[in-house]
Amino acid sequence: MAIRPAAHQSPTRVLIVDDSAAARAMFKVIVESDPALQVMAAVPDAYSAARTMRTELPDAILLDLEMPGMDGLTFLRKIMQQHPIPVVVCSSHVGAGTDTMVAALELGAKEVIAKPAARNEIERQEASIRICDAIRAATETGRRRSQPEPRPLAPGPKLTADEILPARPPRPVPETMPVVCIGASTGGTEALRDVLTALPASAPPIVIVQHMPRGFTGAFARRLDSLCAIEVLEAEDDMQVLPGRAIIAQGDRHLLLRRRNQGYRVSVVDGAYVCRHRPSVDVLFRSAAQEAGANALGIIMTGMGDDGARSMAEMRAAGAETIAQNEETCVVYGMPREAVAHGGVQKIEPLDKLASRIIEFGRRNAERMIR
């Protein structure tokens, strides 16, 4: 029987594939807590998923990697070869298995998130936010990117950067080395690779928040480091920010920029989710506005939601240069759109121009410091 694609409808129909009955039950409750989502089926393995998909394709798949019989990576590869459906990988194997998670992204997974422990009500609520937002973001990637309104937000609190770093009025910042701060989410792993691999070893210092789970950012940083002329590292507390070095925020911990004489170090801190994320772009950008001011360049890239929008406006008010990735090259034009709407964006550039803008920024500011 020929596979019949599911008719377009709202809510989005999700197929859950996980060998744990407890996990399937948890995911079913989480997915159906979002009115934009609906569980089409919850099955224990890839073979059951394939049988389900013989008559109708889901709009999205929530997929575990460790399963009996056919493993998740093999199933993902077959999906992408035959019917490229948006897939969100949700796995507990993000420690020793982080290289597998990188492989999942390279095979075509739209998002990779950690399987939640959900030991208490707060963790259950945070898990619901992460999983529902990841599924909705994944399905956005196959649609026209200029939708005027995003989908309704997942349930749960939405806190601001005030939770981590209090706001303060703009004030003059001493002249320091130039520093680039980048924020990205859905589609950002590939977009960051395109930007960072195009930079020379002499590039200005770069600090990055890419929304990722705990344990995955180390493998991501190592992968980029092997491809780039610059050094790419996962953040450690008090790590020095240097020319020719990019620092990527740890998954599940916020990253802040701290001025130290004419240079910078980073702080890695715990705390509440900000704009539904930890690490949060808004937290990094606020610290850049306060600590670097006009010495900074802020870049906001592809991603769903509005993380980074408010604090990019603070960066601009403090004299920083600000750039948003353009709609045409974004996987999801959410975060850049919101940054534009909040008045924080000076320039809008395509993905293939961002590296050259970073190089120009570094060159201009190096000349300024020499003078």
Tell whether 151 is covered by a domain: no
Tell whether 201 is covered by a domain: yes
Tell whether 361 is covered by a domain: yes
Around Cβ 58, how many Cβ atoms within 10 Å? 25
Catalytic option among 59, 91, 211, 287: 211
pLDDT for the residue numbered 370: 56
User: Among the three residues 140, 172, 206, which one is the final residue of a domain in this structure?
Assistant: 140
- The pLDDT tens digits of the residues spanning 184-241 come to 998 898 899 999 999 999 999 999 999 987 778 888 899 899 999 999 999 999 999 9
Mean pLDDT of 80-87: 91
Tell whether 152 is covered by a domain: no
Tell whether 148 is covered by a domain: no
Tell whether 157 is covered by a domain: no
Tell whether 155 is covered by a domain: no
Catalytic option among 91, 128, 185, 280: 185
Mean pLDDT of 320-335: 94
Range of the domain at 96: 12-140
Sign of CA dihedral 28, 31, 32, 37: negative
| Strand runs labelled E in the chain | 4-5, 12-17, 37-43, 56-57, 60-63, 87-91, 111-114, 179-184, 206-210, 231-234, 240-241, 245-248, 254-260, 263-269, 296-300, 321-325, 347-349
Same domain, 32 and 85: yes
Tell me the pLDDT of the chain averaged across its residues: 87
- Contacts for 353 with CB less than 8 Å, ≥ 6 apart: none
Same domain, 214 and 123: no
Same domain, 111 and 183: no
DSSP 8-state symbol, 285:
H
Same domain, 311 and 227: yes
- The pLDDT tens digits of the residues spanning 15-53 come to 999 999 999 999 999 999 889 899 999 999 999 999 999
Is 277 one of the annotated active-site residues of the chain?
A: no
Same domain, 184 and 310: yes
Is 185 one of the annotated active-site residues of the chain?
A: yes
Same domain, 119 and 203: no
Give the chain's domain count: 2
pLDDT for the residue numbered 141: 55
Same domain, 126 and 175: no
Same domain, 110 and 24: yes
- The pLDDT tens digits of the residues spanning 282-293 come to 999 999 999 999
CATH number of the domain residue 24 falls in: 3.40.50.2300
- Which pTM does this prediction carry? 0.79
Is 307 one of the annotated active-site residues of the chain?
A: yes
Same domain, 219 and 342: yes
Catalytic option among 45, 59, 282, 307: 307
Same domain, 198 and 122: no
